[in-house]
Amino acid sequence: MDSEYSRYFEQQMHLAGIQTRHSRLRRPNDNAHIERFNRTLQDECTGRTITAKDSIQKVQAQLTSYLDYYNNHRVRLGVQLRTPREMLQRF
């Protein structure tokens, strides 16, 4: 990541009160779950329907809709065909 962009990104995250964490060197599994989620998000949502010309509001609406689907309706093989919401309700 370009250092100028990286500094700007870190500043914006700090201003928003968001704490960032970086993965450790030579630890490919540190980000395995989020990397898989990012790929799923791209394959099922952003890669097909969002373009550079779309407004931020349109992108936010599409992501909100997809996240509702992902968490409440999309079942997973790895958790006995349950949704993340169903898994959380078990605790």
Strand pairing partners for 76? 82
Q: Region 10-29: what's the mean pLDDT?
A: 89
- 71 in Cβ contact with 83 (< 8 Å): yes
pLDDT in tens, 46-73: 887 788 888 999 999 999 999 999 999 9
pLDDT score, position 4:
78
User: Average model confidence (pLDDT) for the chain?
Assistant: 89
Domains of the chain, by residue range, sit at 1-49, 51-91
30 with 23: CB under 8 angstroms? yes
Nearest to 28 by CA among 19, 36, 20: 36
Q: Tell me the three state secondary structure of residue 17.
A: coil
Looking up tokens 């093989």, which residue turns up?
77
Instruction: Write out the two tokens for 79.
Output: 């958790």
CA–CA gap between residue 10 and residue 65 (Å, rounded): 27
Please tell me whether the overall predicted TM-score, pTM, comes out greater than 0.85 for this model: no
